[in-house]
Amino acid sequence: MAVGALLRGLVRRPVLFAGIVVIGCVVAAALFAPWLAPYAPDNQMFDGLSLEGAPLPPSHQFWLGTDTLGRDLLSRLIYGARTSLMIGVVANGTAVLIGLTVGILAGYFGGLPGGVLMRFTDLMTAFPALLLAIVLAALLKPSLWIVAMVIAMVNWVQVARIAYTETRSLTERDFILAERAMGAGNLRVLALHILPHLVPTAIVWGTLGIATTVLLEATLSFLGIGVQPPEPSWGNIVFESQSYFQSAPWLVFFPGLAILATALSFNLVGDALRDLIDPTQRGRD
């Protein structure tokens, strides 16, 4: 699709522009955390606690207040953006790659191999994603990369089913049959004709899935089986502060707001990309 059409779509969607701005801010925070954060995320400061040892509310020195250990909440949120975004991109990218591979192979070859792959996909779909992620995270030693892989292992099934359906439709098209009749091998057909048609689907699901991944990471960290302290993530910041919800509500409100804004922004961008990329949607704008 032409760049001009994309720009016109952005102009007609101010909400999409707002989502891109929020995502840009999160990405900037993740990339430039050492320069943006006023303090180190694990720096426990005596002036970050009141005389009674309670966390401090937002002030000119600590813009978002401090936590129960005297650490600056703003600094931990900035560094937490790095953790949450890294898991979101890595886990969702891996899930999309697995889903595309399974769906394309099952849809293209069909028969017994395709049936086995899709029955395995159905089996994975039958398990609640959150419950399966909790079990896997509990069995494995929680860390940044383990959490990312656990999330990828439970999030690929939706992409696989969509890729399977589209691949089955493409294999029956005349241009695919013509390529096969001319002696083209399976690898050539898959690389030059099947995969390019699935790139828009991968882009859309790659964007939409980041929101789900960020939420799932936050849930696992909130339950204590995600990214482990002292490495900050938005989920474990909420987990550490949940018992202080009434006495220090900012400790839960600000990381919760970050999770909500990021997930909503990725959903808005993903929906807009689906409308802009899908040819059946363009005539409706």
The tens digit of pLDDT for each residue in 70-114 reads 889 999 999 999 888 888 888 888 999 999 999 999 988 888 888
pLDDT at res. 219: 83
Q: Who has greater pLDDT, 25 or 185?
A: 25
In a domain, 20, yes or no: yes
In a domain, 155, yes or no: yes
pLDDT at res. 1: 46
Q: Which tokens in the block code for residue 161?
A: 């089913």
pLDDT at res. 7: 59
Contact predicate 181/172, CB 8 Å? no
What's the number of domains the chain is made of?
A: 1
pLDDT band at 130 (very low <50, low <70, confident <90, very high): confident
In a domain, 1, yes or no: no
pLDDT at res. 139: 79
In a domain, 224, yes or no: yes
In a domain, 272, yes or no: yes
In a domain, 94, yes or no: yes
Contact predicate 131/67, CB 8 Å? no
CB atoms within 10 A of CB 159: 26
Exposure string for 163-194, b = 16+ CB within 10 A, e = fewer: bbebbeebbeeeebeebeeeeeeeeebbeebb
Q: What is the mean pLDDT of residues 203-226?
A: 81
Look up residue 57 and give its DSSP letter: P
pLDDT in tens, 246-283: 888 888 899 999 988 998 888 888 877 777 766 544 44
pLDDT at res. 68: 83
In a domain, 56, yes or no: no
Mean pLDDT of the chain: 82
pLDDT band at 6 (very low <50, low <70, confident <90, very high): low
Is 80 exceeded by the pLDDT of residue 140?
A: no
DSSP string, 98-126: HHHHHHHHHHHH-HHHHHHHHHHHHHHHH
Is 90 exceeded by the pLDDT of residue 54?
A: no
Look up residue 39 and give its DSSP letter: S
pLDDT at res. 283: 44
Structural domain range at position 197: 13-39+71-282
In a domain, 121, yes or no: yes
Q: Find the CATH number of the domain harbouring 231.
A: 1.10.3720.10
pLDDT band at 11 (very low <50, low <70, confident <90, very high): low
